[in-house]
Structure 1
């Protein structure tokens, strides 16, 4: 078995931005840059021969989630997430959010879209990264 030090030295961490509202081009672009482009550039791999995107949906437990970086609530159905202000910056915003959930104007998501990028390198190897 490899040591903890060996695992830490050979592990790369990638941070993605969860979408707590409607899916935007900006969020997609930020995630692609942080997952595929920046790690390759920092590793000295400046030539990408190709990227294959694979998508799938997975079932979720219907639950709201708190995202401290945005100070907002996620877990809504992405199609209706634009009907609600998801940020908890005022007490009134939290009350409106709870009201819209109870009235059914917005509902919690039942499934999640997962996207994986396969980056084809110069040596013929494939690296899979989750978006």
Structure 2
């Protein structure tokens, strides 16, 4: 049972690090009714970071696990809020919600800036129109 214990310890360590990175307590304070959703994101990130596979399927491609792990560990509170907003605004049917959510989490650091820039441009255009 030692390998099982080691795996549990590893998962607990990643869970603690991820919760710290995303300001989990503050997120829950601001979004108490979304705890289940936030917990799902945390657990998906923990499972992915603890995967023993050399590659992880993201965006329908096999990506080195170290790259995925590194990207997920860069996520902060703003990224999680962005992911929540993106998934809330999605209107298409998602076949594999786990894979889709992992892709959104993985892509968050490189798409968040573009997303909010386009939101601002859209809002500014709406204000200019009579």
With the shorter chain as reference, the TM-score category is under 0.3
TM-score by length of 1: 0.25
Q: Which has the higher helix share?
A: 2
Structure whose alpha-carbon radius of gyration is higher: 1
Q: Which has the higher strand share?
A: 1
